[in-house]
Structures are given as structure tokens and as C-alpha cells.
A and B are shown apart, each in its own frame.
Chain A
Amino acid sequence: MAELNDIALVTQVAVFHNKSAFDQLVRKYQSPVRRFFLNQTLGDAQLSDDLAQETFIKAYLNITKFRGLSSFSTWLMRIAYNVFYDDVRSRKQTEDIDSLCVLRQFASSGDSNLKMDIYAALALLKPDERTCITLQLIDGYPIEQISKITGIPDNTVKSHLRRGKEKMTIYLKENGYDR
């Protein structure tokens, strides 16, 4: 039913250029999209909001390309993934997203130690590993959905998840997180 509602809203935007229909879509999906960016940028709220805004603008401009082969949320998350990787590529020349300056920012943001340690552990991962890990553990997507969003084959997603969890486990255990 929710899916049908999304398709009806997308049709309103694509055919009648109905901005209030797009407003409803943004309201509905702002939280998962912003949370996705927050996890990818290791908690940088300003950057996350900028990237989320870019995602929604791209979705609006390309809404006629949505064919309904996957759900609207998967299509939107795919755009978000591409926006994030374009940003990572453009930033690589100036600074690395994994650099310590990002972590220092969270150290002063008043987050709990555990949250900071998780961000630190996530920072150890390669961008693809981090994306797969957060999409599975935080956003709760199954492997085939992660594969659709990222365009990475199922088996590669599985190995990213395995390697990512392994690295995080080692780091977190070294920092005293054990059962």
C-alpha cells in the first residue's frame, strides 16, 4: 500500500510537476537518507544535510527515469549512494574522509564513548565496506537490497560485510568491548 502511495506521488511529480507531492516524498524519506549520510560521513551533520539535499534535487530532476522496477526507497538510496561516492572522489584530492580530523570533530561533539568508538571503528573500513555495514546493521537492508543500492554483486557485498565486521570486531575488542 505504501509502495502504491509512493508510485502515485511519483506520478504526480513526473506528470503534473506537482511540488506538494514531492514535498510529501521528501518528508517521508528525509530521515533514512540523512541517517545514511550521517553514517557514511561518520556523523558530520552539515555535510550529511548538504548531500541529502543534493540527493533529493537529483531525484526531482530525474524522477521521470524512475521506472518502478525497484521500490522508490531503493531508487532514492541508489542516488544517495552515487552522490556520496561522487563527493568522496572529489574530496580525495584535498582531504580523506577517513582522516583523523573528522574523528576529532566527533570527539568534541559530546557523543557517548561507545558511539565515538563505533565511528572510529567505521573509519577503519574502506568506503564500500562501511556502506555495506551501515546499510545492513543500521538501516536493516537485506543483502540483495544492498546489492541493488550499491550496484555491487551479492557475493562482494557478503565479503565486504565479513571483512568490515572482522575489522570492527578486532578494533572494538582491543578497546575493551567484549562479552
Chain B
Amino acid sequence: MDMTDKDKILIDDFFEGRNELADLFKQAAQQQIEDNGFTERVMQNLPEKTVTIHRLSCLWSLFCILVGAGLFFAFGGWQVLQGLFYGGLRMLLGWLEVFAITAPTTEININLWVVLLLLVFVLVFLPYQTYRKLSATL
């Protein structure tokens, strides 16, 4: 059934104008349904499945951590870590030594503004962003 513009206006007027019908729709829109124990019934009927899965997932994580730790010590992971640490430390010391020897003869241009901007980024912007993300998720 095609409708003319006049019909559309009449229908809109019928539903949105100031008549008994429009008032009833407005009342229905404002109606708040009392809880009357509904929430309790929903909470009592929530399945425990998710909790069981959560527990299983926790147990699985614990198992993986224990197996990982066992394998780490069984295959001498500690020695590997120590080696990496001391190797890194030696590299750093060597680099500092080279720097200390060559620094007096090397000309390095340090822009104070760049340093300042980097400091602002690290001390203000990063903590602010971290705080925002944490407060949004928790």
C-alpha cells in the first residue's frame, strides 16, 4: 500500500502528537520494572561451567609452569642464564671501556631539547598512558 506524504504526516502525528495514545507510549517508555527478586533468580541459575573451565585453565597453567621450571633446571637453564648475564655484562663493560677511551676524541652533538622531550615522554606520557589503560580495564 503506497502512502502519500499527507498519510505519513498523519501517522507520525497519530503516534507522536499530544493524544492519549502518544501519552501511553511515553509512559511505557518511562516505566521501570521492579526487580522483585529477578536478579537473585538469575544469579542462582547461572551455570558453574565457566568456573570449572577457569579452574581447569588455572590447573593447566600451574602444570605448565611446573614442567617448564623442571625442564629449565634439568637442561642447565640456570647456567645458560648466568652465561648470558655475564656475557652481556662483559659486553657492556667492554663498550664502556671503548667509549671512555675514545670519548675525549669523539665529538657528539647532544640537543638539549631532544633530551628534554625524551625525559617528558618517559616520565609523564608513558606513566599517564599506562594509568589510563589500567583504569579502563580494571
Spell out A's residues near B (CB within 8 Å): 4, 7-8, 11, 17, 19, 22-23, 26-27, 30-31, 34-35, 38-39, 49, 52-53, 56-57, 60-61, 114-115, 118, 137-140, 162, 165-166, 168-169, 172-173, 177, 179
Are B17 and A27 in touch, CB under 8 angstroms? Answer: no
Q: Please, how many angstroms separate the alpha-carbon atoms of A19 and B47 in the complex?
A: 11
Residues in B39-62 with C-beta less than 8 Å from chain A: 39, 41-43, 45-47, 49-51, 54
Q: Is B5 part of the contact surface with A, judged by Cβ < 8 Å? A: no
Partner of B21 from the list A30, A49, A114, A139 (CB cut-off 8 Å) is A114
Are B32 and A31 in touch, CB under 8 angstroms? Answer: yes
Q: Please, how many angstroms separate the alpha-carbon atoms of A12 and B47 in the complex?
A: 17
Partner of B29 from the list A19, A23, A140, A172 (CB cut-off 8 Å) is A140
Chain B residues within 8 Å of A61, by CB: 47, 49-50
Residue of A nearest to B7 (CB): A166
Tell me how far the C-beta of B104 lies from the nearest C-beta in chain A, rounded to whole angstroms.
55
**By the criterion of a CB under 8 Å from any partner CB, how many residues of chain B are at the interface?**
37
Q: Is B24 part of the contact surface with A, judged by Cβ < 8 Å? A: yes
- Given the interface pairs A27-B39, A30-B35, A35-B33, the reply to whether A17 lies near B24 with Cβ below 8 Å is no
Are A162 and B8 in touch, CB under 8 angstroms? Answer: yes
Q: Which 4 A-B pairs have the closest CB atoms?
A: A31-B33, A138-B28, A26-B39, A137-B25
Chain B residues within 8 Å of A177, by CB: 19-21
Are A8 and B138 in touch, CB under 8 angstroms? Answer: yes
Chain A residues within 8 Å of B97, by CB: none
Q: Count A-B contacts at CB 8 Å.
A: 95
Residue of A nearest to B3 (CB): A166
Residues in B112-138 with C-beta less than 8 Å from chain A: 136-138
Chain A residues within 8 Å of B15, by CB: 137, 165, 168-169
Are A22 and B43 in touch, CB under 8 angstroms? Answer: yes
Are B46 and A60 in touch, CB under 8 angstroms? Answer: yes
Tell me how far the C-beta of A162 lies from the nearest C-beta in chain B, rounded to whole angstroms.
7
18 new A-B contacts, CB < 8 A, other than A26-B42, A166-B7, are A11-B137, A23-B43, A27-B35, A35-B28, A39-B28, A49-B38, A57-B42, A60-B47, A114-B20, A138-B28, A139-B29, A162-B8, A162-B11, A166-B11, A168-B15, A172-B14, A177-B19, A179-B14
Q: List 11 A-B contacts (CB under 8 A).
A: A8-B138, A26-B38, A31-B33, A53-B45, A57-B42, A57-B45, A57-B47, A61-B50, A165-B14, A166-B11, A172-B21
Are A22 and B25 in touch, CB under 8 angstroms? Answer: no
Q: Is B98 part of the contact surface with A, judged by Cβ < 8 Å? A: no
